Amino acid sequence: MEKYMIIDGERVPFTDEKNILGVIRKAGIILPTFCYYSDLSIYGACRMCVVEDKWGGIVASCSTPPKNGMEIRTNTPQLYYHRKRILELLLAAHCRDCTTCEKNGKCKLQELANRFSIPGVRFENTNPIRPIDTSSKAIVRNPNKCILCGDCVRVCSEIQHVGAIDFAHRGADMEISTAFGRDIADTNCVNCGQCAAVCPTGAITIKNDTHDVWEAIHNPKKRVVVQIAPAVRVAIGEAYGYDPGENTIGKLVASLRMLGIDAIFDTSVGADLTIMEEAEELVESLEEEERKYPLFTSCCPAWIRYVETQYPHIMPYISTSKSPMQMFGAVVKQYYKKQDKKEGRETVSVAIMPCTAKKFEASREEFKRNGVPDVDYVLTSEEVIGMLKEIGIRFDRLEPEAYDMPFSIYSGAGVIFGATGGVTEAAVRRVVQDKSPKVLKEIEFIGVRGMEGVKECELDLGERTVRIGIVSGLGNADRLLQKIESGEEHFDFVEVMACPGGCVAGAGQPFARSTEKRMRAEGLYKNDKALQIKRSEENPLVDTLYKDLLKNREHELLHVDYMRES
Amino acid sequence: MEAKEQKVLDEILESHDYNQTAVIAIMQDIQKIYRYLPEEMLCYIAKKLHLSEAKVYGVATFYENFSLEPKGKYVIKICDGTACHVRQSTAILEEIRAILGVTAAKPTTDDMMFTVETVSCLGACGLAPVCTVNDVVHPAMNPEKARVLIQELKDSEAVGKEAADED
């Protein structure tokens, strides 16, 4: 028999909803929440989602499972009073400098205060003003704006298995803290930014570097060169009403020109170089006998940091190939060297990324040559949206434009780097001998695609079968590593992306739930399909680069030794 | 952390089977020996128990009884529960603090001999006002008796020190 609930007098059927909040949403009522995310464990802290049962009892709908015949009301005088009071108290303990807050316009507390028409706050903020932690290259922590919903704590420990922050102290003194109140940069934080992505307020925000980039743009002595990561093109349009997954790269290029950028390129070119190098490493590693660990990918800087802090002994098994951003950064700086000297200008290399950890990566000592970083600034998709809005560009009305020469050609393999499994698929396209369209199509179906957090597949290379693991989300990576350590599983190649779903779901992208993330990944595969060149080695630009700019410098420009510093 | 201390921690962890859920008991054992929870020891047990350092720090700061600051040889707890409070425990607290030159913000003497704390109730209201020195209960206190008590503790220290010097 069909199970049902009575919500505000209406009969609402339910099946396997884990809480009555889900059933209420199904009934078309959006209850306010701060601390509820379906991907995380249920915490029940904010009490905004409270409902009244038929005896007048008040329960949090997120932490109450539905029962057959249950009667609840979502709109009663009691609930009206409670919700308003909770909001007023949250606002009372909050630093309310909304107009200059990084989260202005995107803040859940602001949104709900507006939705509930809070007329004023009668209570004084008695909290002491706590210092803002700006130690990280990726995120800024402002404890004065924290509402203690715990979303950041749960995403950090449950999804990412990092646990850089947790609740500390008790009662009115409770706060989100790093271990021993250290600066976040001095912890095991991997800079993935997922905490900032789920933070409903401005308590954790992504470090904003747009001011420095504006200064570079305004300085005629500086040549501002931009590279755009694959995942950005399928998400940035969302800010202008485009569907997730719709490729708006042409409009982005056009608007960056209007912004005053001197040259605009695609990080996919860097991805093609990464595949050339990484595939070679893979072929070499397959010849090694009795190798306990697979070759791990190296594109994701949060993953690199995770290994450095939690599994330092597997660092030697990570590919030494730089990430596409760093490879392309090195190429750009090298390419403009002579021209800079002649013209008396300085090239400023900017990368537009879906990612917060890339900000950290760009600042690493390993990626500085003679003290100068190969990538000077990393901007997230969100930061670029902010810059475009600042000068009032009508993104939707622009005619698409093409990239600048000479780095305007890239392969589909490079583009799909932005989705989980994409790096693997690109590498497989490179290593298989048979380059026919039929095999290309077959690769698609060996199990590399899809948004699942853990994928395993096998590739038949004739002389041997290659076992491949693909994980996204560091918690999944942790579980896979434990299986490898225990000998339960053996892989030859493992791709890791720190954000669940891959770079398309990076913390620097507009906020997205699983449906939108999947649509973005599909957008990348669609882009790949439309491109003439499918494989990295078929990109003529790659060939030119190896023969000219990279000649005898492959090691310096394309590889990195992370263990040198330690 | 020295090898000797690591051995102590390993023994404590061993006795709790490296069980994550025993983290509170493990911390209690550590505090019993060292009178506080040193940062490097908490980091060590976090690693061994596969908990994040932030989680262990969270547990350690949640409970009033755990201290992350080193404590003196003698921990004096002055009860400030209702019964003791109405029988003038505040005067005793002030007297002891004045003698030892400590405050609420800086509860431990520089020579690491005394730590002065208040507790909300020791459960000995019939003996009010009451205080404890380590685990010894001193009933029906007043500022005068507190002065004598501190002096006795200082004297016994001096005697002990002389005896040690003679050896």
> What are A418-456's pLDDT values in tens digits?
999 999 999 999 999 888 889 888 888 888 999 999 999
Within this chain, do residues A320 and A436 fall inside the same structural domain, yes or no?
A: yes
Helix (H, G, I), strand (E, B) or coil at A67: coil
Within this chain, do residues A202 and A215 fall inside the same structural domain, yes or no?
A: no
**Is A13 part of any domain?**
yes
pLDDT band at A195 (very low <50, low <70, confident <90, very high): very high
Report residue B116: phi and psi, to 5°: -115, 125
**Is A314 part of any domain?**
yes
Single-letter amino acid code for the residue at A367: F
| A479 to chain B, closest Cα gap in Å | 13
Q: What residues of B are in the A interface, CB distance below 8 Å? A: 39, 42-43, 46, 51-58, 61-63, 68
Note if A10 is an active site residue. no
pLDDT of A15-40, one tens digit each?
999 999 999 999 999 999 999 988 89
Residue A94 has pLDDT above 80, yes or no: yes
Within this chain, do residues A197 and A343 fall inside the same structural domain, yes or no?
A: no
The pLDDT value recorded for residue B160 is: 76
The pLDDT value recorded for residue A240 is: 95
Please state the rounded mean pLDDT for residues A359-370: 95
Task: Return the residue in A166, A176, A178 with the most chain B beta carbons within 10 A, the one to mutate for interface testing.
Answer: A166
Residue A564 has pLDDT above 70, yes or no: no
DSSP track, A116-146: TT-----S---SPPPPPB---SSEEE-GGG-
The answer to whether the beta carbons of residues A249 and A237 sit under 8 Å apart is: no
Q: In what order do the strands lie in the sheet with A263-266?
A: A263-266, A222-228, A346-353, A377-380
What crossing angle do the helices spanning B39-49 and B53-62 adopt, rounded to 10°? Answer: 120
Report residue A368: phi and psi, to 5°: -110, 135
CA quadruple A103, A104, A106, A109: dihedral sign:
positive
> Residue A47 and residue A541: Cα distance in Å, rounded?
57
What crossing angle do the helices spanning B3-15 and B23-34 adopt, rounded to 10°? Answer: 140
Which residue did the predictor score with more confidence, B1 or A351?
A: A351
Residue B126 has pLDDT above 70, yes or no: yes
Within this chain, do residues A199 and A241 fall inside the same structural domain, yes or no?
A: no
Of A231, A250, A268, nearest in space to A534 by CA:
A268
- CA atoms within 13 A of residue A326's CA, in its CB half-sphere: 32
Chain A with chain B: Cβ pairs closer than 8 A:
51
Structural domain span for residue A519:
211-558
Distances (CA, A) of A172 to A127, A180, A545, B60: 9, 18, 60, 16
> Residue A192 and residue A508: Cα distance in Å, rounded?
9
Task: Report the percentage of chain A scoring pLDDT > 90.
Answer: 91
The pLDDT value recorded for residue A164 is: 97
Please tell me whether the peptide bond between A119 and the residue prior to it is cis, using omega within 30 degrees of 0.
no
Please state the rounded mean pLDDT for residues A379-393: 96
pLDDT of B134-154, one tens digit each?
889 999 999 999 999 999 999
The answer to whether the beta carbons of residues A253 and A408 sit under 8 Å apart is: no
Single-letter amino acid code for the residue at A516: E
Which residues in chain A are closer than 8 Å to B55, comparing Cβ atoms?
A: 157, 163, 166
Task: Return the ∠ at Cα A224 (arms to A223 and A228), rounded to 5°.
Answer: 145
Asked if the Cβ–Cβ distance from A180 to B58 is below 8 Å, we say: no
Number of neighbouring beta carbons within 10 Å of residue A104:
12
> Residue A162 and residue A160: Cα distance in Å, rounded?
5
What crossing angle do the helices spanning A422-431 and A437-444 adopt, rounded to 10°? Answer: 150
Residue A565 has pLDDT above 60, yes or no: no
Pairing state between β B74-79 and B131-133: antiparallel
Within this chain, do residues A304 and A281 fall inside the same structural domain, yes or no?
A: yes
DSSP E strands, A133-262: 139-141, 165-168, 175-178, 204-206, 222-228
The pLDDT value recorded for residue A305 is: 97
Q: Is A537 on the interface with B (CB under 8 A)?
A: no
Please state the rounded mean pLDDT for residues A340-347: 95
The pLDDT value recorded for residue A291 is: 85
Note if A149 is an active site residue. no
> Residue B58 and residue A178: Cα distance in Å, rounded?
9
**Is A102 part of any domain?**
no
Of A277, A119, A244, A297, nearest in space to A515 by CA:
A244
Note if A358 is an active site residue. yes
The pLDDT value recorded for residue B157 is: 83
Active-site residue, selected from the candidate residues A52, A102, A238, A281:
A281
Q: Which two tokens stand for residue A309?
A: 């802090």
Which residues in chain B are closer than 8 Å to A168, comparing Cβ atoms?
A: 54, 57-58, 61-62
Alpha helices in A73-183 (DSSP H): 77-92, 108-115, 151-154
Q: Which two tokens stand for residue B41?
A: 């020891």
pLDDT band at B166 (very low <50, low <70, confident <90, very high): low
The pLDDT value recorded for residue A563 is: 77
Domain boundary among A206, A233, A248: A206
> Residue A368 and residue A565: Cα distance in Å, rounded?
12
> Residue A499 and residue A457: Cα distance in Å, rounded?
20
ipTM score of the complex?
0.90
Q: Residue holding tokens 């380590």?
A: B134
Within this chain, do residues A276 and A405 fall inside the same structural domain, yes or no?
A: yes
Q: Is A179 on the interface with B (CB under 8 A)?
A: yes
Asked if the Cβ–Cβ distance from A179 to B52 is below 8 Å, we say: yes
Domain boundary among A191, A206, A221: A206
Active-site residue, selected from the candidate residues A35, A152, A355, A503:
A503
Within this chain, do residues A19 and A140 fall inside the same structural domain, yes or no?
A: no
**Is A107 part of any domain?**
no
Within this chain, do residues A297 and A347 fall inside the same structural domain, yes or no?
A: yes
The answer to whether the beta carbons of residues A366 and A556 sit under 8 Å apart is: no
pLDDT of A483-525, one tens digit each?
999 999 999 999 999 999 999 999 999 999 889 999 999 999 9
Residue A126 has pLDDT above 70, yes or no: yes
| A179 to chain B, closest Cα gap in Å | 4
pLDDT of A388-428, one tens digit each?
999 999 999 999 999 998 898 999 999 999 999 999 999 99
Q: Is A165 on the interface with B (CB under 8 A)?
A: yes
**Is A84 part of any domain?**
no
The answer to whether the beta carbons of residues A449 and A525 sit under 8 Å apart is: yes
Nearest residue on chain A to B59, alpha-carbon basis: A168
Residue A557 has pLDDT above 80, yes or no: yes
Report residue A127: phi and psi, to 5°: -70, 140
Q: What is the CATH number of the domain that holds A129?
A: 3.30.70.20
> Residue A301 and residue A353: Cα distance in Å, rounded?
12
The answer to whether the beta carbons of residues A187 and A355 sit under 8 Å apart is: no
Within this chain, do residues A32 and A155 fall inside the same structural domain, yes or no?
A: no
Alpha helices in A311-401 (DSSP H): 324-335, 337-343, 357-363, 381-391
Domain boundary among A206, A239, A268: A206
**Is A142 part of any domain?**
yes
How many folded domains does chain A comprise? 3
Within this chain, do residues A345 and A216 fall inside the same structural domain, yes or no?
A: yes
Please tell me whether the peptide bond between A324 and the residue prior to it is cis, using omega within 30 degrees of 0.
no
Of A377, A378, A418, A376, nearest in space to A268 by CA:
A418
Report residue A93: phi and psi, to 5°: -95, 20
Query: For all residues of chain A together, what is the average pLDDT?
Result: 94
Helix (H, G, I), strand (E, B) or coil at A34: coil
Of A435, A433, A458, nearest in space to A448 by CA:
A458
**Is A504 part of any domain?**
yes
The secondary structure element, H or E, covering residue A471 is strand A465-472
Asked if the Cβ–Cβ distance from A179 to B51 is below 8 Å, we say: no
pLDDT of B25-51, one tens digit each?
999 999 999 989 999 999 999 999 999
**Is A468 part of any domain?**
yes
- What DSSP designation does A159 have? I
> Residue A197 and residue A191: Cα distance in Å, rounded?
12
SS (H, E, C) A518-546: HHHHHHHHHHHHHCCCCCHHHCHHHHHHH
Note if A390 is an active site residue. no
Query: For all residues of chain B together, what is the average pLDDT?
Result: 92
Q: Show me where the domains of chain B are located.
A: 3-62, 74-166
The secondary structure element, H or E, covering residue A303 is helix A301-310
Residue A102 has pLDDT above 90, yes or no: yes
Residue A468 has pLDDT above 70, yes or no: yes
A69 Cβ neighbours under 8 A, 6+ residues apart: A4, A5, A6
| B144 to chain A, closest Cα gap in Å | 36
Q: What is the CATH number of the domain that holds A22?
A: 3.10.20.740
Within this chain, do residues A274 and A174 fall inside the same structural domain, yes or no?
A: no
Q: Residue holding tokens 């490179």?
A: A430
pLDDT band at B167 (very low <50, low <70, confident <90, very high): low
The answer to whether the beta carbons of residues A259 and A400 sit under 8 Å apart is: no
| B29 to chain A, closest Cα gap in Å | 20
Within this chain, do residues A346 and A289 fall inside the same structural domain, yes or no?
A: yes
> Residue A346 and residue A95: Cα distance in Å, rounded?
41
Active-site residue, selected from the candidate residues A280, A346, A366, A456:
A366
Q: Which two tokens stand for residue A47?
A: 């009490």
CATH level 3 topology of B74-166: Glutaredoxin (3.40.30)
Number of neighbouring beta carbons within 10 Å of residue B73:
14
Please state the rounded mean pLDDT for residues A208-230: 97
CA quadruple A198, A202, A203, A208: dihedral sign:
positive
> Residue A459 and residue A475: Cα distance in Å, rounded?
25
